[in-house]
């Protein structure tokens, strides 16, 4: 026989019986809500922009709501390596062009902001297909277009004429493509242009500058053919030359430029004619040839940069400056306030660093990015090479009188590198000198990256001991300013 309690739940009298029936309006169990699907379409498309396209397409299997949502994405990024799949211990390929075609056919977004084709293996047979894909960018008013191909120099993709008149382009990156010598360029909204592995000319560069009235940044990576880089645009702010992009360049004239970065290997030294507005310069390149000619050319280059407040100098340039220092050549005074050095800091670099510190009488911040093994990158006779056999502390101490202004202005020193880069006795001598003789120094930060470097499976125990040894030594150094902080950072992630 059953009885009823006051809550309306019927129980069997047996203590082992289970609940059999519930009366009243009891709420069903809550199901987890799909909060992502409830987001507005604009937010979902924004999330899609951070995902690989393959993952975006896979969202179609989530639910009916998602079946066609991916087709509205306005960021289409195709990577040619997506055509490779690993199967067991090998790889197999699928038809990458068909993948692109399939996605573009299903794309329903009237406006596509980004369209990228990268690492696509191109040959002449692919030209019609590539032309068709670029027609899509024209129809969808793409603002960010990236076309970086893989091909031989004899099969450069010739950019179609309609591409020169895309009036909504804001950013354009092309690699292993060639420009027409006769087509008029009209890119009224273009701000950023990057060109890789291409044949250019003074005329093409002039037409690009003239047809892009608000462009701000120009990057040339491993390009050839330009002898005179003339940028008289009032909006241009940045010029980047990487690799052999300036191998034939004779002159750079850019009176309104704010930033100039040159890196790579050069077969000749360029001339800076007018860079009077420059606020940042990076010179991290090397020039094969006669050492004394290189000394003369680099001295003239630094003379041009003497009013630039932020300068980055690479290893080859520092070694040339080391030669000037050991020859007793006076350093030209510089108004540099922020100096960045990229070097191992060994016997080949230290005199060049001293040379730059003597030159930078207004220096407030010094940053040293420690690089790999540093070898002498040019030939010297044995008599002069013997000059590099100096005692590192004696070298810095003997130049102490030339650092008086530096000692008053320098406020911050940062030294950054992998753990195994901190074993140089020349580096320790430099740190000891800076901490012990810079009266205005407020903070010294030593940041040792504890990641294993490329090629290492794990961080070596010896590297950890090296960093710990450096920290003990540095903390024991005498400080010219009692208020100066010495901070060690060991980022592991």
pLDDT digits (tens, 9 = 90+) for 53-64: 666 666 655 555
- 3-class SS of residue 448: strand
Residue 211 CB coordination number (10 Å): 17
**Cα distance between residue 356 and residue 333, in whole Å:** 9
Residue 160 CB coordination number (10 Å): 15
Across 250-266, average pLDDT: 87
Mean pLDDT, all residues of the chain = 82
Crossing angle for the helix pair 425-437 and 350-359, to the nearest 10 degrees: 20
pLDDT of residue 84: 47
Residue 431 near residue 396 (C-beta atoms within 8 A) = no
Rg (CA), the chain: 31
pLDDT of residue 36: 62
pLDDT, one tens digit per residue, over 302-337 is 998 999 999 999 999 999 999 999 999 988 889 999
Confidence check: pLDDT of 360 > 50: yes
- Alpha-carbon distances, residue 116 vs 120, 141, 145, 289 (angstroms): 10, 14, 6, 40
Residue 215 near residue 194 (C-beta atoms within 8 A) = no
pTM strictly above 0.85: no
Confidence check: pLDDT of 403 > 60: yes
Reported as half-sphere exposure (CB side, CA atoms, 13 A), residue 199 has a value of: 11
The pairing of beta strand 114-121 with beta strand 157-158: unpaired
Q: Which range (2-6, 176-180, 213-217, 333-337) has the least confidence?
A: 2-6
Crossing angle for the helix pair 127-139 and 96-106, to the nearest 10 degrees: 20
Question: Which parts of 243-337 are beta strand (E)?
Answer: 251-253, 259-265, 271-274, 280-286, 310-313
pLDDT of residue 475: 92
Residue 242 near residue 263 (C-beta atoms within 8 A) = yes
Question: Which parts of 33-107 are beta strand (E)?
Answer: 75-79, 84-87, 90-93
pLDDT, one tens digit per residue, over 433-487 is 999 999 999 999 999 887 766 656 566 777 788 888 889 999 999 999 888 899 9
pLDDT of residue 378: 74
Residue 141 near residue 112 (C-beta atoms within 8 A) = yes
pLDDT of residue 365: 97
**Which tokens belong to 187?**
């890119």
- Alpha-carbon distances, residue 111 vs 75, 138, 227, 310 (angstroms): 10, 10, 39, 40
- DSSP at 216: -
Confidence check: pLDDT of 74 > 70: yes
pLDDT tier, 182 (very low <50, low <70, confident <90, very high otherwise): confident
**Cα distance between residue 191 and residue 296, in whole Å:** 36
Residue 351 near residue 379 (C-beta atoms within 8 A) = no
List Cβ neighbours of 474 (8 Å cut-off, separation of 6 or more): 428, 431, 432, 435, 444, 446, 486, 488
Residue 264 near residue 242 (C-beta atoms within 8 A) = yes
**Which tokens belong to 288?**
């094969």
């Amino acid at each position: 026989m059953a009885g009823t309690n006051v809550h309306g739940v019927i129980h069997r009298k047996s203590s082992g019986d289970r609940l059999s029936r519930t009366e009243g309006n009891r709420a069903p169990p809550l199901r987890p809500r799909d909060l992502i699907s409830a987001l507005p379409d604009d937010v979902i498309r924004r999330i899609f922009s951070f995902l690989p396209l393959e993952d975006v397409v896979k969202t179609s299997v989530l639910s009916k709501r998602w079946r066609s949502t991916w087709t509205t994405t306005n960021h289409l990024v195709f990577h040619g390596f997506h055509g490779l799949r690993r199967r067991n211990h090998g790889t197999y390929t699928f038809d990458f062009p068909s993948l692109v075609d399939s996605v573009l056919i299903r794309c329903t977004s009237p406006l596509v902001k980004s369209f990228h084709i990268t690492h696509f293996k191109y040959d002449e047979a692919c030209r019609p297909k590539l032309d068709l894909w670029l027609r899509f960018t024209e129809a969808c008013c793409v603002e960010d277009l990236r076309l970086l191909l893989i091909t031989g120099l004899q099969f450069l993709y010739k950019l179609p004429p309609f591409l020169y008149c895309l009036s909504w382009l804001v950013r354009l990156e092309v690699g292993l493509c060639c420009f027409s010598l006769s087509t008029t360029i009209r890119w009224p909204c273009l701000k950023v242009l990057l060109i890789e592995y291409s044949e250019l000319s003074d005329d093409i560069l002039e037409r690009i500058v003239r047809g892009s009235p608000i462009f701000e940044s120009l990057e040339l990576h491993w390009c050839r053919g330009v002898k005179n880089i003339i940028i008289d645009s009032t909006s241009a702010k940045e010029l980047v030359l990487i690799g052999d992009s300036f191998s034939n360049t004779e002159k750079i004239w850019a009176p309104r430029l704010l930033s100039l970065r040159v890196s790579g290997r050069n077969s000749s030294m360029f001339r800076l004619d007018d860079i009077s507005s420059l606020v940042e310069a990076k010179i991290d390149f090397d020039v094969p040839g006669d050492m004394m000619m290189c000394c003369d050319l680099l001295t003239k280059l630094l003379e041009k940069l003497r009013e630039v407040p932020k300068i980055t100098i690479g290893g080859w340039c520092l070694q040339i400056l080391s030669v000037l220092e050991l020859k007793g050549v006076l350093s030209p005074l510089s108004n540099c306030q922020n100096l960045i050095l990229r070097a191992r800091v060994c016997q080949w670099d230290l005199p060049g660093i001293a040379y730059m510190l003597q030159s930078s009488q207004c220096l407030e911040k010094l940053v040293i990015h420690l690089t790999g093994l540093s070898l002498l990158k040019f030939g010297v006779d044995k008599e002069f090479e013997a000059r590099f056999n100096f005692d590192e502390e004696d070298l810095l101490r003997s130049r102490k009188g030339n650092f008086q202004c530096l000692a008053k202005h320098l406020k911050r020193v940062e030294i950054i590198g992998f753990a195994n880069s901190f074993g140089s006795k020349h580096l320790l001598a430099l740190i000891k000198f800076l901490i012990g003789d810079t009266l205005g120094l407020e903070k010294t930060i030593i940041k040792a990256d504890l990641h294993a470097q490329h090629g290492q499976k794990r961080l070596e125990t010896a590297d950890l001991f090296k960093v710990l040894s450096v920290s003990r030594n540095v903390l024991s150094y005498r400080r010219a300013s009692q208020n100066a902080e010495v901070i060690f950072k060991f980022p592991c992630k």
